[in-house]
């Protein structure tokens, strides 16, 4: 008998997304080594969607340790049910105490591997899996880059790679990207055996899982058309990245750095989705066999996952825009220009050049986390030399003008600064929050801590940025948003904090101060 509990309240940050009911989305979580937190992300994403009133199926596809059922306190089947039909597959679903959420557990005690893991049955099994009656399918594909894991990630509407700020985990993530590219490229040529043999010959010549640019450069020497096709397949790859167990500032910046490096050195999109802070609450919930969003929804790690889930919902809600054509091959086969090296536009001033130089030097630092296994020592030295040369050339007015005339003889539209363009997930989240706030904020709105957080996140502003500009400590800003009044100083100081925060968020300072302090006094009285 499964104990049933009402879903926990989502609070003021709950998202009401219109137009999604009746649609089916498949999310896959994998792309790294074991122990990085894939199960944590998968199970709590499933819980979040169920709390939104969706019908959700959580699929445990981890071949090395299928144990998601234990986190919900249910007993799984030793062997999987028959998957000959969708109806037979649906018989294996086990309801959980979270309304709307069912688990399709893996065969954790099977003597032989299940049939769907063997060659020739994966496509039919995936087709039946997608036919299950659910608004969301959340699949935990497990660690590694075996064919099943790669195929499920490539078939998903949103594929999420999870890593931690450690060199072995980052290396495993880059390895998964290369394995996924190899799989995708070979599948695109399955009907052209001659070209497939050329690709296999090139990969054998490289002698390891190749990066897309390595494949393109070698193919361009013999078959430029095939090289262009290989490059298009790389640019069409779109995965998302979550960094788990973050502790320091550089950990929080890791996802953005890896996203830029994957685009520059692999040609593929690895969209930054968010991070999950290191939190002892996580292992406590594992000990209690309860999902994090159910057992401790107000913990910092739970809020991190809620924001990731909100971005996923925003991504599934926006209309898919036509894909831009892949960039031409010549820029891929030649060294990047100084502006591309620093990730800035041609109109950038000296201060922007200095900031970009500092950022790139941190990313390409010797022994740095973002470049773990991505570049060898020689390639890293070349990248560092290019950054230094770009910095010196662009800060010298005479050299910069001569360089611009030699590289860009024809005037053209300036490229946007790569670092100022919002990530797709962040942009989708901001659009959704701005739409909600347009309906929520008016002359009589009472500004609460969660509402102030929502306004801040809708503008893509981080706590650290506000703290740096207003000189209000991050602890006090978080206390304002969390409404933990015991952590705030005297009310005369809080009045100043709220006023400065409202000004920074471009809100009416008088209205925010009046309503927030009134709420604060009422809470103190009660």
Q: What is the DSSP string of 446-497?
A: PP-HHHHHHHHHHTT--HHHHHHHH---HHHHHHHHHT-GGGS--HHHHHHH
Cα Rg, the chain, nearest whole Å: 25
The torsion angle over the Cα atoms of residues 97, 99, 101 and 105, rounded to 10 degrees, is 20
Q: Give the per-residue pLDDT at 9.
A: 39
Q: Structure pTM?
A: 0.82
* Residue-range domains of the chain with CATH: 11-167+238-317 (3.40.50.300), 335-407 (1.10.287.110), 441-525 (1.10.260.40)
Q: Give the per-residue pLDDT at 38.
A: 92
Letter string b/e over residues 446-470, b meaning 16 or more CB atoms within 10 A of that residue's CB: ebbbebbbbbbbbeeeebeebbeeb
Q: Give the per-residue pLDDT at 410.
A: 64
- DSSP bridge partners of 28: 139, 159
Q: Give the per-residue pLDDT at 72.
A: 86
Question: How far apart are alpha carbons 132 and 24 in whole angstroms?
Answer: 9
Q: Give the per-residue pLDDT at 316.
A: 84
Q: Give the per-residue pLDDT at 8.
A: 37
Q: Give the per-residue pLDDT at 167.
A: 94
Residue 227 token pair: 């090289």
- Cβ atoms of 181 and 266 within 8 Å: the answer is yes
| Residue segments in the chain with a per-residue pLDDT below the cut of 50 | 1-23, 413-422
Percent of the chain whose pLDDT exceeds 70: 85
Closest by CA position to 140, among listed 262, 268, 240, 45: 45
Mean pLDDT taken over the chain: 84
Residue 65 token pair: 């340790």
Q: Give the per-residue pLDDT at 249.
A: 86
């Amino acid at each position: 008998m499964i104990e049933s509990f009402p879903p926990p309240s989502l609070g003021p940050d709950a998202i009401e997304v219109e137009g999604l009911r009746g649609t089916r989305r498949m999310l896959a979580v994998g792309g790294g080594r074991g122990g990085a937190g894939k199960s944590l992300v998968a199970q709590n994403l499933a819980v979040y969607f169920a709390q939104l009133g969706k019908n959700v199926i959580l699929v445990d596809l981890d071949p090395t340790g299928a144990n998601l059922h234990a986190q919900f306190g249910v007993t799984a089947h030793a062997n999987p049910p028959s998957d000959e039909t969708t109806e037979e597959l649906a018989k294996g679903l086990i309801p959980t105490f979270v309304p709307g959420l069912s688990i399709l557990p893996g065969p954790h005690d099977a003597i032989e591997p299940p049939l769907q893991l063997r060659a020739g049955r994966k496509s039919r099994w995936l087709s039946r899996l997608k036919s299950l009656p659910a608004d969301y399918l959340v699949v935990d594909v497990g660690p590694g880059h075996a064919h099943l894991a790669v195929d499920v990630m490539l078939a998903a509407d949103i594929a999420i790679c999870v890593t931690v700020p450690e060199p072995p985990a980052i290396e495993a993530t880059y390895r998964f990207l290369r394995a996924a590219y190899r799989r995708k490229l070979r599948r695109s040529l399955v009907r052209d055996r001659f070209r497939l043999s050329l690709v296999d010959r090139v990969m054998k010549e490289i002698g390891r899982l190749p990066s897309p640019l390595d494949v393109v450069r070698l193919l361009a020497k013999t078959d430029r058309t095939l090289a262009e096709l290989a490059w298009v397949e790389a640019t069409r790859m779109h995965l998302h990245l979550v960094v788990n167990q973050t502790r320091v500032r550089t950990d929080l910046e890791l996802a953005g750095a890896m996203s830029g490096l994957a685009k520059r050195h692999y040609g593929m999109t690895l969209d930054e989705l968010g991070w999950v802070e290191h939190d002892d609450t996580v292992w406590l919930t594992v000990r209690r066999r309860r999902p994090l969003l159910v057992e401790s929804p107000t913990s910092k790690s739970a809020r991190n996952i809620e924001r990731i889930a909100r971005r996923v919902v925003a991504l599934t809600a926006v209309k898919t825009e036509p894909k831009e054509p892949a960039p031409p091959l010549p820029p891929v086969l030649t060294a990047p220009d100084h502006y591309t090296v620093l990730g800035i536009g041609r109109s950038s001033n000296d201060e922007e050049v200095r900031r970009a130089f500092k950022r790139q030097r941190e990313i390409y630092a010797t022994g740095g986390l973002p470049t773990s296994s991505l570049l060898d020592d020689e390639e890293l030295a070349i990248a560092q030399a290019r950054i230094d040369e770009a910095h010196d050339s662009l800060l010298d007015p005479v050299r910069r003008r001569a360089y611009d005339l030699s590289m860009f003889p024809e005037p053209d539209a300036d490229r946007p600064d790569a670092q100022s363009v919002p990530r797709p997930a962040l942009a989708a989240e901001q659009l959704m929050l701005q739409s909600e706030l347009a309906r929520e904020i008016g002359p009589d709105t009472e500004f609460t801590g969660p509402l102030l957080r929502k306004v801040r996140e809708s503008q893509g502003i981080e706590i650290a940025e506000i703290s740096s500009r207003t000189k209000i400590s991050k602890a006090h800003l978080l206390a304002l948003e969390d409404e933990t009044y015991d952590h705030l100083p005297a009310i005369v100081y809080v009045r100043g904090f709220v006023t400065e925060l409202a000004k920074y968020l471009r809100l009416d300072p008088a209205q925010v101060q009046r309503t927030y302090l009134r709420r604060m006094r009422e809470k103190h009285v009660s």
